[in-house]
Amino acid sequence: MAKPIGISKEKMLKERVARFKELKPTHKAFLDSLVEGHERDIFQIIGPGVNEDPNHRPAILDHPDFSLGLIRAQPGHGASLHIHDTVEVFMPLEGRWTLYWLDEAGKRQEAVLETHDVISIPVGVWRGFRNDSPGVAHMIAINGGSDPGRVTWPPELIEKAAKKGYKLDAKGNLHQIAPAAS
């Protein structure tokens, strides 16, 4: 059993409470979020999460063994196929979301999640998601582990992002570059 500790109300409210109305999202948390069809906002609530925006900070810094984020997307928008070095858990807070992945043969599979359904995607599985609701919807994303690592993107997504003027540096952080000539 953990040793009991105390925490003041002031410290709890200052360091361990995230108020939604005060959260600042980033629309460039990931390389794909700057490519048509994958635009979305990420609210990083607890821990750094898997995030390619070097300027985006979580609301709650203490994050032993997990990170919690909130995704907001317009209808038809979501994440491209990608891989994480962590387990990733999703739960729609509203609407309908399609989670898709590649099976052992490289064939695309999918599951449609309704509000409050949950899916857990294992480490190393290509995965993506899309808001299939008629309006803007929110979904929780949880990444396991103290170090969420970086994202692996398919080469075609990296090319699309470069044409839009974006790339990742050697540390995996997102940077704007001059768009490629057409």
Element (H, E) at 52: none
The pLDDT score that the predictor gives to residue 179 is 63
The pLDDT score that the predictor gives to residue 138 is 98
Give SS3 for 151: coil
Element (H, E) at 94: none
* Separation between Cα atoms, residue 177 and residue 8, nearest integer Å: 47
The pLDDT score that the predictor gives to residue 102 is 97
What does each of the 182 residues of the chain score in pLDDT, given as a tens digit? 889 899 999 999 999 999 999 999 988 888 899 899 999 999 999 987 788 888 888 999 887 788 999 999 999 999 999 998 889 999 999 999 999 999 999 999 999 999 999 999 999 999 999 999 999 999 999 998 877 778 899 999 989 898 989 888 888 888 888 765 55
CATH architecture group of domain 23-176: Sandwich (2.60)
Number of helical (H) and strand (E) elements in the chain, helices listed first: 2, 11
The pLDDT score that the predictor gives to residue 178 is 72
* Separation between Cα atoms, residue 6 and residue 14, nearest integer Å: 15
Domain segments of the chain: what residues?
A: 23-176
* Separation between Cα atoms, residue 83 and residue 101, nearest integer Å: 10
The pLDDT score that the predictor gives to residue 51 is 82
Distance of CA 2 to the CA centre of its chain: 31
Cβ distance 47 to 67 under 8 Å? yes
The pLDDT score that the predictor gives to residue 125 is 96
